């Protein structure tokens, strides 16, 4: 009985152990299934990672090819700097194109004025030539009349001389001959008086002709000067057209030249203002020269009425045109100043908002006469007014100037790393701006 019970207990134990083994096997099977599922999921993730890596490699190779095509770019960090430089060059080219267009308009106005002056001078020269021809005909008529009167006078002298000769066969007619002789002498005196008047008129007419010739020469000289000036203006106009076309082509396809890239000046003394001032000064000089010519011509007015009036009207019209041009250019200069002041103010605010620095520019000259531009930069995240950066721009080179702020150990270390070793001022200012932002945010 006891042995049977022991046998049953052993069998029960075996059955229980087998059940436990089955449960363990089931758990192991479930674990293996979970491992297999995890392995499959990891395998799918691995395939996705391989695809992503391949995409990243393709994208990296395309970026490397693009970087090789961009001049002056050797790494990914240079691309933002390059885009900033290209943006500056685009703005500079747009301003140059605007300045060139303004100069071109001024040259067109000057060319139109010169052409009008040329037409006036040609008209006056034609009138003077017609008048000279008429005076020549009149002189010829007077010379013919003088020659006829001289011949008549010589004939009367011959008749008088013959009547004065004593003749034997005319003894009874002496009284009649004396009366005829007196009449011939009086006629001869009248003819001599007429001849003297003709000679005086001829002399006066020759003087008038000489003055007219001098005036014609003066008008021809003025006409030649105007023609030379028109040719010069046309050449300048062609040059400006070519420059505008070049700038527009550069602006269209974004040419970049590190050697020709210039710093954008953010003050009111722009090249357009200087050119407008130079044009005004040149017109004032021309006006002064015209006034001097007017004083010299005043003497000719007293001697030659019609030509003097023509010259007077021409010069007065020229003076009026020059005054109108000066007034127009002065108004244009004021407009340029107002517009550029507004644009510069907007540009400064935009630079402050985009790059995080307030920029102040100051220009001066060294003792050797070389112009130097100083830029003072202050971050918008600066915690005091002493946190300023100073740079000098001279002949295409930009150098940092040491001050109390840059002498601090942290700032000096960044200057050594970014500017002196890496030669990258944009990276230095960007890193300094980020650090100032972090300090201000944390504080």
Highest mean pLDDT, choosing among 35-49, 198-212, 218-232, 269-283: 35-49
Give yes or no for residue 160 having a pLDDT over 60.
Answer: yes
Spatial distance between the Cα atoms of 316 and 387, rounded to a whole number of angstroms = 62
Query: What's the token pair of residue 266?
Result: 């953010």
Q: Which single residue is written with the structure tokens 């009366």?
A: 179
Query: Could you give the CA distance from residue 281 to residue 284 in angstroms, rounded to a whole number?
Result: 5
For residue 364, give every residue at least 6 positions away whose Cβ sits within 8 Å of its Cβ, in sequence order, or none.
371, 372, 374
Residue 386 and residue 403: Cα distance in Å, rounded? 9
117 vs 111: CA distance, rounded Å? 10
Domain boundaries, the chain: 1-62, 88-264, 266-309+323-354, 356-442
Residue 205 reports pLDDT greater than 90: no
Query: What count of Cα atoms within 13 Å lies in the side-chain half-sphere of residue 123?
Result: 10
Domain 356-442: state its class.
Answer: alpha beta
**Do the Cβ atoms of 319 and 287 come closer than 8 Å?**
yes
- Could you say which of 1.10.1060, 3.30.70, 3.40.50, 1.10.287 is the CATH number of the domain covering 88-264? 1.10.287
Whether the CB-CB separation of 351 and 357 falls below 8 Å is answered with: yes
State pLDDT tens for residues 130-145: 877 877 777 777 777 7
Neighbours of 193 (CB within 10 A): 10
Q: pLDDT for 169-188, tens place per residue?
A: 445 455 555 666 666 667 66
Q: Which residues of 6-32 are buried (b: 16+ CB within 10 A; e: fewer)?
A: eeeeeeeeeeeeeeeeeeeeeeeeeee
**Pairing of the two strands 389-394 and 357-365:** unpaired
CA distance 216 to 203: 20
Q: What is the percent of the chain with per-residue pLDDT over 90, rounded to a whole number?
A: 5
pTM of the complete model: 0.30
Mean pLDDT score of the chain, rounded to an integer?
75
Report which listed range, 219-223, 242-246, 259-263, 377-381, is most confident: 377-381
């Amino acid at each position: 009985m006891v042995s049977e019970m022991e046998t049953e207990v052993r069998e029960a134990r075996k059955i229980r152990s087998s059940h436990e083994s089955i449960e363990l096997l089931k758990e192991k099977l479930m674990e293996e299934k979970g491992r297999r599922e995890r392995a499959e999921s990891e395998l799918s993730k691995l395939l996705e990672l391989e695809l992503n890596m391949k995409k990243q490699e393709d994208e990296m190779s395309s970026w490397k090819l693009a970087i090789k095509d961009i001049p002056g770019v050797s790494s990914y960090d240079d691309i933002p700097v390059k885009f900033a430089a290209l943006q500056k060059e685009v703005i500079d080219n747009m301003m140059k194109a605007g300045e060139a267009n303004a100069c071109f308009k001024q040259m067109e106005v000057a060319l139109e004025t010169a052409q009008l002056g040329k037409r006036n001078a040609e008209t006056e020269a034609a009138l003077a030539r017609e008048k000279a021809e008429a005076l020549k005909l009149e002189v010829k008529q007077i010379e013919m009349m003088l020659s006829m009167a001289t011949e008549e006078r010589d004939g009367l002298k011959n008749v008088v001389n013959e009547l004065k000769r004593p003749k034997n066969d005319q003894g009874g007619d002496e009284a009649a001959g004396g009366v005829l002789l007196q009449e011939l002498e009086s006629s001869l005196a009248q003819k001599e008086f007429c001849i003297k008047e003709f000679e005086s008129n001829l002399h006066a007419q020759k003087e008038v002709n000489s003055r007219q010739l001098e005036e014609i020469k003066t008008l021809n000289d003025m006409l030649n000067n105007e023609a030379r000036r028109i040719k010069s203006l046309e050449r300048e106009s062609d040059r400006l057209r070519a420059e505008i076309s070049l700038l527009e082509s550069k602006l269209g396809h974004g040419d970049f030249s590190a050697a020709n890239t210039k710093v954008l000046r953010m003050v009111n003394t722009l090249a357009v203002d200087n050119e407008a001032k130079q044009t005004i000064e040149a017109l004032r000089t021309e006006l002064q020269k015209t006034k001097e010519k007017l004083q010299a011509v005043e003497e000719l007015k007293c001697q030659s009425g019609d030509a003097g009036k023509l010259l007077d009207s021409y010069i007065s019209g020229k003076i009026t045109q020059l005054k109108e041009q000066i007034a127009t250019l002065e108004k244009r200069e004021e407009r340029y100043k107002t517009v550029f002041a507004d644009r510069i103010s907007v540009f400064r605010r935009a630079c402050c908002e985009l790059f995080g620095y307030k920029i102040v520019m100051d220009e001066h000259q060294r003792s050797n006469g070389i112009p130097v531009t100083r830029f003072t930069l202050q971050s918008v995240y600066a915690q005091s007014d002493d946190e300023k950066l100073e740079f000098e721009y001279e002949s295409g080179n930009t150098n940092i100037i040491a001050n109390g702020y840059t002498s601090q150990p942290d700032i000096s270390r960044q200057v050594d790393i970014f500017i002196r070793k890496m030669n990258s001022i944009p990276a230095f200012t960007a890193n300094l701006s980020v650090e100032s932002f972090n300090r201000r945010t944390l504080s």
